[in-house]
Amino acid sequence: MKISHLSAECVPYAKTGGLGDVAGALPKAQAARGEDTDVWLPFHLSAAQWFRKRLTWPEQACDPFVIGIMGQPYGVGILKSTLPGSNVPVYFVAHDPLFHRQGGLYAPSDSGIDDGLWRFGLFVRAAIEGMKRIGRKPDILHCHDWHPALGAMLTAWSSWRDRWFDDVASVLTIHNIAYQGIYGMELFPALGLPADVAWGGQIEFDGALNLLKGAICAADIITTVSPTFAWEIQTPEGGARLDGILRIRADRILGILNGIDTTEWNPATDRYILSHYSAEDLRGKADCRAYLCHLAGFEPADPGMIVGAIGRLTDQKGFDLLLEAAPELIRRGIRIVMLGSGEPALEGAMRLLEAHNPRRFRAFLGYDEALSHRIEAGSDAFVMPSRFEPCGLTQMYALAYGTLPIVRRTGGLADSVIPYNGHNLASANGFHFEYASPGALAAEVLHAQHVFFQRDIWHRMVLNGMAVDNSWDHSAGQYADAYRRAREVRGLPL
Ligand code: ADP
C-alpha cells in the first residue's frame, strides 16, 4: 500500500513535541515492514538550518509551480531528501515567506497575525499538486493533527470535480485535540473546498472555521494516539468541545499507542549517556545516576530516590501539581530534577524551589535533547502528572531506561504504565494516581518511595518495564489495519 504522511513536524527537521517524533519514526517502521511510504512537510526554517549545518541541500523534485489562493499567486518548490537512517522519501513544500519563521514553527507573521490557515492551506494544496506532478498517488493520505486537516477534506469532498481523489482514502490522526485550527469564516475560500461545505455543518463551529472538526467529519478513519484517549475525546471532559461530533463518528475511531524510536532511545546504545546498560547488566545505570547527581549538584552517595520530570511547561502537563507537592517530597528525602520550558510562572516557581533547596531540587530551563536522555537514564523514578495526555512518550522512554514512571491515570499514561498494587509483581512497572491534585501526586510518589526501598520488588518492576515492547513495529502493524479499514469504508480495493 502507498502511504503519504502530511505533517507540520517531523524529526529531525522540525519538532516541538510528540507529533514530530511520530512523523519521523512511524514512516521508518512502515518502510521496514515493506510498505511504500513517504512524508510531506513544510520547508521550515529549522529544516533549512538542519541541511545547512550539514553542508548539504535537498534536491528539487519537480519544476516550481504556482498555487493561487484567493487570487494571490504563491510560487512553490518541492524539495526531496530521505529520512536519516532510512530510504523513506521526505518531500518539503518550500515557500520561504510563509514557512521561514524566526519565532518557531507556529509563530505568527511579522505583523503579529496568526496566518496558520493560510500557511498550512498552501502546504496541503501544494503537496497534492506536487504529488500529481511527480506522479505519486497514495492509497492513503495520512493527515496528522489540524495543520494538514485540509488533506482529508479535499479527499472526501473533491472527487466529483477532481478525479485524482477517486481512489485515495484518508486517515486523520489526532495527536492533541486541544489544538484545532480555528479561524474566521471569511477565510473559507482560501481552502479551495466546494462552497456548500462552508454551511453544511461539517467545518463550521460557533460561526468560525474549525479545521480539525472538518477533518473529523471528512476522514475515512480517525485514529488517536492511545486507546484511552480515543475514549476520553468522546466525553465532554476530554473532547475539547468536539466530543459530540466525535461520538457521531465513533465507529470510525481507533486508538493506537505510539511507539518509541529505539534507535534513539535505547540505554544499550544511547550516544548521550555516560555508561551503557541493559536488563541483563544494569551496572551502567548506577554510573548514569552518579553522573546526573554531578550535573544536578546532588550528593551521589545519598541513597534516596531521585525523581525526574521532562516536558513542556503548560497547563496540560500538570507540573504545577509537582511544584506544589515538591516541598513536602523534599522534606521526606526525595530529590527532584526537572527539565522544561514554557509558561513563565512555572519557570519562576522552578527557580524559586531550586533557590530554597539547592541540593535537593534542580531546575533546568530550556530545551536540551542530551540532558533529557541523561535524566531518563539517571533518575530512579519519573513523574508525569498530566491533566490530559493523548499518548506521552517520556514515560515510555523511562520504562525502557529502567526508571519507573509515576503517572496520572489518563490517556496514553493509563495504557502504557501498569501500576503496582501489591500483588501483580509479574507485570507491574510503575505507579498511577487518579486525581489531579498535589496531595494525590505526593501520596503516590511517597508510595513509590516506600517500594523503592524494597529493592527486590523495585528491581523486578524495573525489569518488567524494560521488557515492554514499545517499538514502532507493533504500532505500525495496527496502522496497517487502520489503512485497510479506511479503504474498505470508502469502497476501494485493498
Ligand atoms: P508532547 O507531545 O505533549 O510535548 P510527548 O511526551 O508526547 O509530549 O513528547 C515530548 C517530547 O519532547 C519527548 O521526546 C521529550 O523528551 C521532548 N521534550 C519535551 N520538553 C523537552 C525539553 N525541555 N528538552 C528536551 N526534550 C524535551
pLDDT digit string (tens) for 458-487? 999 999 999 999 989 989 999 999 999 999
224 and 354 in a single domain? The answer is no
Using a 6 Å cutoff on CB, does residue 192 contact ligand 1?
Answer: no
Q: How confident is the model over 108-148, as pLDDT tens digits?
A: 999 999 999 999 999 999 999 999 999 999 999 999 999 99
Determine contact, residues 307/379, Cβ cutoff 8 Å.
Answer: yes
208-210 and 431-433 beta bridge pairing: unpaired
| Type of residue at 493 | P
Q: Say yes or no: 48 and 125 in one domain.
A: yes
114 and 100: one domain? yes
DSSP track, 132-157: HHHT---SEEEEESSTTHHHHHHHHH
Q: Would you say the CB of residue 259 lies under 6 angstroms from ligand 1?
A: no
Confidence at residue 486, expressed as pLDDT on a 0 to 100 scale: 98
Q: How far apart are CA 206 and CA 209, in angstroms?
A: 8
String of DSSP letters for 66-78: EEEETTEEEEEEE
Q: Which residues contact 197 (CB under 8 A, 6 or more apart)?
A: 153, 157, 203, 214
In the block, residue with C-alpha cell 481507533: 254
Backbone phi and psi for residue 457, each to the nearest 5 degrees, phi listed first: -65, -45
Ligand 1, residue 175: give the atom nearest the CA: 2
Q: What is the CA radius of gyration of the chain?
A: 23
Is there a single domain that holds both residue 336 and residue 453?
A: yes
21 in the same domain as 36: yes
Going from the Cα of 367 to the center of ligand 1, the distance in angstroms, rounded, reads: 9
Q: What share of the chain is helix, strand, coil (3-state, %, to 5)?
A: 40, 20, 35
For the Cβ of 394 lying below 6 angstroms from any atom of ligand 1, the answer is yes
Q: How far is the CA of 59 from the centre of ligand 1 (A)?
A: 30
Tell whether ligand 1 has an atom less than 6 A from the beta carbon of residue 258: no
- Give yes or no: residues 231 and 289 share one domain: no
| 243 and 297 within one domain | no
Mutating to test ligand 1, I would choose from 262, 310, 337, 395 the residue with most ligand atoms within 8 A of its C-beta, which is: 310
Q: 340 CB under 6 A from ligand 1?
A: yes
The CATH number linked to 428 is: 3.40.50.2000
**Ligand 1 within 6 A of CB of 405:** no
Q: Does 175 lie in the same domain as 101?
A: yes
Q: Which amino acid is it at 227?
A: P
Backbone angles phi, psi at 237, to 5 degrees: -70, -35
Report if residue 277 sits inside a domain.
no
Which residues of the chain carry a pLDDT beneath 50?
none
Whether residues 203 and 334 fall in one domain: no
Q: Is residue 276 included in any domain, yes or no?
A: no
Residues ≥6 apart with Cβ < 8 Å to 365: 340, 341, 347, 350, 351
CA-CA distance, 38 to 44, in Å (whole number)? 18
372 in contact with ligand 1, CB cutoff 6 A: yes
Domains held by the chain: number: 2
DSSP state for residue 419 in the 8-state scheme: B
| Boundaries of domain holding 340 | 283-469
Q: Looking at residue 159, what is its pLDDT?
A: 65
Q: Which residues pair with 142 in a beta bridge?
A: 5, 171
Q: Looking at the domain assignment, is residue 460 inside a domain?
A: yes
- Examine the domain organization and report whether 287 and 424 are in the same domain: yes
Burial 417-455 (b: 16+ CB within 10 A, else e): bbbbeeeeeeebbbbbbeebbbebbbebbbebbebbeee
In the block, residue with C-alpha cell 486537516: 149
- Do the beta carbons of residue 438 and residue 325 sit within 8 Å? yes
**Does residue 254 sit in the same domain as residue 297?**
no
* pLDDT for the residue numbered 199: 81
**In this structure, is residue 269 part of a structural domain?**
no
Q: Report the C-alpha gap between 339 and 309 in whole angstroms.
A: 6
Residues 22 and 169 grouped into a single domain:
yes
- Residue 278 resides in a domain: no
* Burial of residue 281, with CB atoms counted within 10 A of its CB: 0-12 exposed, 13-18 middle, 19 or more buried: exposed
Q: Is residue 420 a part of any domain in this protein?
A: yes
- Whether ligand 1 lies within 6 angstroms of the CB of 318 is answered as no
Answer yes or no: is 271 within a domain. no
DSSP state of 59: E
User: Residue 462 is placed in which grid cell?
Assistant: 524495573
d(CA 57, ligand 1 centre) in Å: 27
18 CA → ligand 1 middle, Å: 6
Peptide bond into 12 cis (omega under 30): yes
